[in-house]
Amino acid sequence: MTESERVLGGRYRLDSLLGRGAQGTVWRARDLRLDRDVAVKVTPTSRDLESSGEAREHLRRFHKEALAMARIDKQPHVAEIYDHGADADLLFSVMEYIEGVSLAAHLRRHQPQLEQTVRWTKDICSGLSGAHAAGVIHRDVKPSNIVIDKKDRGAHLVDFGLARLLGGSSSRTPVGSLPYVAPEQLAGRSTASSDLYSLGCVMYEMLTGRTPFGHLTEGAAFWYHHTDRMPDPPRALRPGIPGPLDHLVMRLLKKDPDDRPADARAVARAVEQVEFASDDAAGPHVDSRHVEEIRRLERFIEQHAQEPWARDPEVLDARSRHARLTGESGDSRGAAALYQRLGKDCARWLGPGDKRGFQAYREAARWTERAH
């Protein structure tokens, strides 16, 4: 029997591999008892592995992740854990399956619009608030550990493989991913504020297309910059970012945890202040009145992203409306980019003389002009 045909605990049928990581493999699986899709993380427990100290630490972390996730009260922006057990040579954890793509995958394709950045930041803050209230520090907040749900276009925090319980023993070993790690984590200390620093790095990347120190490649250089250097403000790389949002990111990236916002709820409140619903808003802003319609259009466009459906006039109209609302929500550059993409697709699918493509390019020029 291959691993993909295996049924764990007499209940969870492994169907398709979703990914591999340091903590094991993650599978889309079927809960045969409750007839629903779940995500199952699997790691081997063979005697050969248990003979090494490194392997024992690996298994300890696997157990600790399940314990940390179980402590977090059910809330919509953290993947829920359902079960944890062993089956012969495998240890497994069963979690909520969130159908979507990681923020890392999204960033490889497109830079988020300002409205998306604000919305997803609030979602991540909600997840971190729930974790921190339960005494859990994530310690590895990064785009690959954030999933954008295909159904509701919300952001969900996943993978608590490096989590630590507040009040528990602290390791002197640095943990986390170098482009997103807080200065104190490099010294072997982690607090809830460390997750906020990492969130600041993620926000910086959503706003600018690169991490705060994205030009670096060497570990020692990351260490020095996270500890002793402040990055350029996001607005220096991408004009049009609202001043309060720019200021918030730079506060999150302060070297001293005491200089950062008090907690994830404070970050969420600061983000909400960026949303400005007035028609006469001066300067860059995010108009929250369009959020629900933008989410609805995102879902519809995502559901029809593959050809031949993508060429359908209804889908093209939805993309045009999505671009317009992005501009009206305060992101002129984002609107221009969406119209440019729509114009290129119309020219490719319908021919260079197509009226719809011409209108998209005209709108792209108009929003580009408004952005300057």
Whole-number Å distance between alpha carbons of 26 and 89? 16
Residue 35: Cβ-neighbour burial (10 angstroms; 0-12, 13-18, 19+): exposed
Q: How far apart are CA 11 and CA 243, in angstroms?
A: 52
331 flagged as catalytic: no
Q: Which of 123, 140, 287, 331 is catalytic?
A: 140
Structure tokens at 123: 């979602």
Calpha distance 231→291 (Å, rounded): 30
Element (H, E) at 289: none
Crossing angle of the two packed helices 332-350 and 355-371, in degrees rounded to 10: 160
CA-wise closest residue to 327 among 276, 290, 272:
290
Instruction: Tell me the torsion sign for CA atoms 170, 191, 142, 82.
Output: positive
- Nearest Cα residue to 71 out of 159, 162, 124, 134: 134
* Contacts of range 232-236, beta carbons closer than 8 Å, 24 or more positions apart: 234/204, 234/207, 234/208
Q: Could you give the CA distance from residue 272 to residue 289 in angstroms, rounded to a whole number?
A: 12
Residue type, 65: E
The whole-angstrom separation of Cα 121 and Cα 159 is: 17
For 269, the token pair is 């409140």
Residue 42's SS3 state is strand
Using CB atoms within 10 Å of the CB of residue 361, give its burial: 0 to 12 exposed, 13 to 18 middle, 19+ buried.
Answer: middle
Rounded Cα distance between 137 and 59, Å, is 19
- Taking the C-alpha atoms of residue 245 and residue 251, their distance in angstroms, rounded to an integer, is 10
Residues forming the active site? 140
